[in-house]
Amino acid sequence: MKVLLVNPPVRKKMQPQEIPIGLGLIAAVAKQEGQQLSFLDLNVHRPSLQIAAQEIAIDDYDVIGIGGLSSQYQDIRNILPVCRQIHPDALIVAGGGFVTYMPDKMLRLRPEIDIIVIGEGEETWRDLLKAAPKKDFSGVKGIAYRNEEGKVIYTEPRPLIPDLDTLPYPAYDLMEIDTYAENYDLCYSEESLHSKRKLCIISERGCPRQCTFCTHNGASRWDMLVSVGKEKVLKLDEEYGFQQIARFTSAEYTLKHMQYLYEKYDCGYIYLTDENLTSNRKRTTELCNLMIENDTPSKIHWGTAGDTASVNDELISLMKKAGCTFISFGGESGSDKVLKYDIQKGTTRKNNQDCVDIMKRQGMEPVMTFMLGNPHEDVNDILETTDFFVKNNIACDPFICTPYPGTKLYLDYEQQILEQFDQRLAEVKKLPKGSIDNELIQQWKDNALDKFLGSLDDADVLSAHVSQVFNHHDLLGLKALMFAHDIPRILKVAHMRNWPHDKKWNEHCPDCSAKNEINELRKVNEALFTPTAATGESDQI
């Protein structure tokens, strides 16, 4: 069969940087199955829709696959109708984060899609390619599709891949490696900044930290609980073994992958885009020791991400010796209240501080990200985070807490999110039940969802918010003041907006300081000019 894979644009405000690893793996599977494969990367060149249509029309394709994150939906929804118009008989398959958590809704929103792949795609894609000639997909695990009557059918859920070492490398030969490597902006260390060629790989799926703002594209037990339900996950446990929260490729597989990129593509710096490599200390130690044994640091430097509670001096020292030059940590907040109740990361402010101190002791610059706009975060929590910036001299433009589909935040605040894109949904709640036709309300919800998905980008861009304290304007203003380390102006805004702040901030607060000074002057003045009981005249002291 003739198969076309389409990689939609991502992070269009920046040059194309990270190679499409996920779609590259799907391409590698198609090659293993002997398909006639074309790979259209709309991210690397960012053509107009008209030019993209010309590329899509080059051949007569039997199967078209498109995948991406929710933040890529704004372009995906434009590309899909073009694919359907040019290839009316092609089987259009969609996968990735933008469909995994809401297959039924996405099939309504985007009728061009024939089949949705739920969660991990490699083995499902392989089975779909085998089933495509006969067009009988009932035996393919892990998909949703419409039957002849238009009803959405869910097949048996697919278990997670137990051994990630069985996966092929992404089909690098189909990618424009030079463009991605040239644009890759890793400015977190001298080595990452100046390396001639930089690329990224993934050696972890899932994460043991279950932050309320995060998803794992269906590749974790927690994601499966959302996408297929607890009962089916427990059944998968019984039949296939426990569905893991986090899985890693072996140290040997990971190092061979890095060596392959070095030898084949002259890649001297590799970013392991794992969500939390340091969470598995045993495996991280094994990987670092293997790198040292193979003299990897003399050829390849690398960076990765971790969490603040999992590192110590010994681990960071070993990682540095193995060629690691930076680690990005999600500090998220300087407030223990927010970390515990809103984010539920399982880390504390002390963990964050200890991590900064450890990195400095080991001669590595701390790289840490933070956010604002968590549901119950108030101005005191904002001040705690800004205070953390000030005390550690951290230059951080915080993200805005964004409720991406599939996150606990989205599940908990879906109604509030949709109301931000259609005020009618807020108004109809005030009416008696049944006042408005349910089908009409569902249309409003679908349209609001489409607008919400179309607004998504990186978390530094405001889309919907879930704050129960601040509005859109508050969040944008506070974001700028946090970046500027401007605690006094945050406190001044607090007084303007009638947000009560704790007494511990009084000494930094211009309003409180001014009021205290005036009160002291008034007391002095009253003491100096106190009227006497006899004459009623001031008795100056």
- For residue 47, the SS3 value is coil
- Three-class SS string for 165-200? HHCCCCCHHHCCHHHHHHHCCCCCCHHHHHCCCEEE
pLDDT at 528: 80
Q: Place 536 in a pLDDT band, splitting at 50, 70 and 90.
A: low
Looking at per-residue pLDDT, the higher value among 530 and 6 belongs to: 6
Percent of the chain, pLDDT > 90?
A: 86
Give the domain ranges of the chain: 2-154, 509-541
Percent of the chain, pLDDT > 70?
A: 98
Q: Kindly report the CA angle at 301 between 295 and 303, in degrees rounded to 5?
A: 130
Residue 541 has pLDDT above 50, yes or no: no
Average pLDDT estimate for 404-409 = 94
Burial 106-144 (b: 16+ CB within 10 A, else e): bbebbebbbbbbbbbbbbbbbbbbebbeeeebeebebbb
Average pLDDT estimate for 149-177 = 95
CA distance 454 to 347: 33
Average pLDDT estimate for 392-401 = 94
Q: Give residue 64's identity as a one-letter amino acid code.
A: I
Closest CA to 274 of 252, 302, 301: 302
pLDDT at 540: 47
Residue 538 has pLDDT above 80, yes or no: no
* Contact predicate 189/257, CB 8 Å: no
Phi and psi dihedrals of 372, rounded to 5? -140, 165
Residues whose CB falls within 8 Å of the CB of residue 288, separated by 6 or more in sequence, listed in order = 318, 319, 321, 322, 324
pLDDT at 353: 98
Q: Place 461 in a pLDDT band, splitting at 50, 70 and 90.
A: confident
CA distance 367 to 396: 9
Residue 535 has pLDDT above 60, yes or no: no
**Count of C-beta atoms within a 10 Å radius of residue 439:** 7
pLDDT at 187: 85
Instruction: Give tens-digit pLDDT for 269-313.
Output: 999 999 999 999 999 999 999 999 999 999 999 999 999 999 999
Helix H or strand E segment including 417: helix 408-419
Handedness of CA 130, 135, 141, 146 (dihedral sign): positive
pLDDT at 239: 94
Q: Which one-letter DSSP state was computed for residue 256?
A: H
CATH class of 2-154: alpha beta
pLDDT at 530: 66
**Mean pLDDT, rounded, of the chain:** 94
**pTM of the predicted protein model:** 0.92
Residue 373 has pLDDT above 90, yes or no: yes
Handedness of CA 504, 510, 515, 517 (dihedral sign): positive
pLDDT at 112: 97
Residue 365 has pLDDT above 90, yes or no: no
pLDDT at 533: 54
Helix H or strand E segment including 205: strand 204-206
Place of tokens 């010994």: 314
Q: Place 532 in a pLDDT band, splitting at 50, 70 and 90.
A: low
Q: Place 522 in a pLDDT band, splitting at 50, 70 and 90.
A: confident
Average pLDDT estimate for 244-266 = 96
Place of tokens 């129960």: 468
Instruction: Give tens-digit pLDDT for 304-352.
Output: 999 999 999 999 999 999 999 999 999 999 999 999 999 999 999 999 9
